[in-house]
Chain A
């Protein structure tokens, strides 16, 4: 089944403790991205990647890192999480490098709570 898989789905952690949210897609998509969703703000793009080893900032990249060493994986790293990063996070992918010109396939989300 074609899908975007995020792990973990839920995480409660403390300020400053490094964490990684994994994202994996099995559709051989070139474009992958991370979003955070906050009430009243919709989704805001954190980082995106047009291909292996090619990443760029979205609208809210501060406090986050990403890497794209393999086409299928695009982990989101919070080196020193803070409470303002408590949010619902989504990973998405689409077939072509210019991914925004095609429908995005979303994962089911990761709810992070930073205490």
Chain B
């Protein structure tokens, strides 16, 4: 079953702008992870945020988690052409050993 759902499905921005995408999920989670996928390649892990955390940063990436709303957001600041990719959220539910991915947000950064 698909636990996470990303919004929007696609996003086009100018280089230098910020990109924000959201992920909503349905059941209680242990952690939420964000991944990037460049065209035709495997997924690359970006950030893992645990259910007791509210915000994490990694370089130009900022992830927030609101467990009361069952939602997360990924912010990419000062975007670059190399940020063009699909971004996926994935949730790990409590007492489960499966990882559930959303359908992804496709981000295009225009030069």
Report A's interface with B, CB cutoff 8 A: 4, 31, 33, 35, 40-45, 48, 50, 56, 58-59, 90, 92, 98-109
Contacts and interface: CB of A to CB of B under 8 A. Distances in A.
A42 B37 CA distance: 11
B100 to A, nearest CB: 7
Given A40-B103, A102-B48, A107-B42, A56 B33 contact: no
Contacts, number: 67
Interface of B: 1-2, 4, 30-31, 33, 35, 40-45, 48, 88, 90, 92, 96-104
A98 B43 contact: no
Given A40-B103, A108-B42, A58 B92 contact: no
A48 B97 contact: yes
Interface centre among A35, A92, A98, A103 (most CB of B within 10 A): A103
